[in-house]
Amino acid sequence: MKRFSVFSLARNAFSHHEDWPRQWRSPEPKPEYDVVIIGGGGHGLATAFYLAKEHGITNVAVLEKGWIGGGNTGRNTTIVRSNYLFDESAHLYEKSLQLFEKLSQELNYNVMMSQRGVMNLAHNLHDVRESRRRVYANKLNGVDAEWLEPEEVKAFCPIIDISPDARYPVMGATLQKRAGVARHDAVAWGFARGADARGVDIIQNCEVTGLRIEKGRIVGVETTKGFIGAKKVGSVAAGHTSVICNMAGFRVPLTSHPLQALVSEPIKPVHPCVVMSNAVHVYVSQSDKGELVIGAGIDAYNSYAQRGSFHIIEGQMGALRELFPIFSRLRMMRSWGGIVDTAPDASAIISKTPVENFFINCGWGTGGFKATPGSGWVFAWTLAKGEPHPLNAAFSLDRFTSGALVDEHGAAGVAH
Ligand code: FAD
Ligand code: PYC
């Protein structure tokens, strides 16, 4: 093993990190691709990676209007779990968790997956019943899940207040031990590097401004870098999906809302797991840098503003203080928002559309980071074969006309 001296550390510190190889190219768009992906978030990049790796389709472009991972992918609170209620969701999210468990090796890129356990707290009898039901359902689907009594909650997370006279007393929690957090930027960058290495063109600062459709079939996209032809197009634009579908001439049942989060000053390791509470409207983990990562429920109004706001911060702080009195004097550093796309049943849409060869992957709302590899994997299949994989067949657009909804409001993790 190479040994580092104080001198080599100092030399590296002053080297200005020059001449590091770029992790992906920055190509000009080709006139035409087999597949164009709109949106360079984690899901779009994962789709491109699996198109190349699993299906040998490498003549692919990912078009991103800003910088890759600059949307919800780089703004989320990085919680990864698979404890969803319904069979269809449990199978899809479990596939994703299994991919996450091997992702650092698959991408040869450290995505800092930390399976430290996620607790979802119950604060009233309804919560307790719903949570226990979810544990039974998870177990039937082979998803690891446990029910914890209040003392067991305290043993798993000693800093939590379980006193029975609290305004929202902790009456127990579900625990998924294999769940945890992963580094969001690394997930985007790892997929980007892997896709680029297989020939995919990642084109940043390239906004899709229109879709060219001839005789009901998509033939390409209009962009700020000119027209780009495409045999197939996949839209993975999260909170801007309805804008893209508007360009295609149809409406999707999605509403776009800001979802906000904030981080505290860094402190020593004190919070060992992830704690979520739908009733108190807060969820908390501690990053590797020591900051507490704290999220809220979605903003009540529709907006495309990716900002934090004071009334949400006030609510988050009240909720944080309710569960963790130890943090009452902690200072907060910064807050932000992302635009999430919520469907009426709080489930994703991974589907063909009324326009031939135009596919959409959206509706992940408040909970799509955990789905990044699984979503990319099934969407790559859907694009390659022109048909959904059995894992995403239930998440097609036609469920909103057939009524076969997959209502995951409770399991989506965040109040909305
Ligand atoms: P994005 O990363 O938003 O990517 C979409 C991309 O499309 C963007 O980069 C955007 O710039 C681009 N785009 C849009 N329009 C165009 C256009 N016309 N042309 C070109 N490009 C375009 N999920 C969890 O599982 N766990 C969590 O802990 C969690 N916490 C969250 C906390 C917050 C504050 C937020 C906002 C979200 C959270 N989520 C969480 C949800 C999760 O972040 C998203 O579901 C997921 O990241 C969506 O990924 P994506 O790749 O589809 O979207
Ligand atoms: O789905 O686990 C989740 C989540 C946590 C925070 C936002 N979404």
Ligand 1: residue of 72, 77, 225, 307 to mutate (most ligand atoms within 8 A of CB) is 72
Question: Is 364's C-beta closer than 6 angstroms to any atom of ligand 1?
Answer: yes
pLDDT in tens, 303-342: 999 988 999 999 999 999 999 999 999 999 999 999 999 9
Instruction: Report whether pLDDT(97) > 60.
Output: yes
CA 74 / ligand 1 centre spacing (Å): 8
pTM of the model: 0.96
Nearest CA to ligand 1 atom 51: 41
Instruction: Report whether pLDDT(175) > 50.
Output: yes
Q: Which atom of ligand 1 is nearest to the CA of 79?
A: 28
Which alpha helices (H) appear in 203-309, and where do they start and end? 241-248
Sign of CA dihedral 259, 265, 266, 269: negative
Question: Is 370's C-beta closer than 6 angstroms to any atom of ligand 1?
Answer: yes
Instruction: Report whether pLDDT(291) > 60.
Output: yes
What's the pLDDT score for residue 89? 98
Degrees (nearest 5) of the Cα angle 187, 191, 195?
A: 175
What's the pLDDT score for residue 9? 73
Query: Which CB contacts under 8 angstroms, 24+ apart, belong to 304-308?
Result: 304/239, 304/240, 304/256, 304/339, 305/258, 305/337, 306/75, 306/258, 306/336, 306/337, 306/338, 306/339, 307/258, 307/336, 307/337, 308/260, 308/262, 308/334, 308/335, 308/336, 308/337
The length of the chain in residues reads 416
pLDDT in tens, 242-282: 999 999 999 999 999 999 999 999 999 999 999 999 898 89
Distance CA(35)–CA(60), nearest Å, equals 5
Question: Is 338's C-beta closer than 6 angstroms to any atom of ligand 2?
Answer: no
Read off the tokens for 9: 């550390």
Share the mean pLDDT of the chain.
Answer: 95
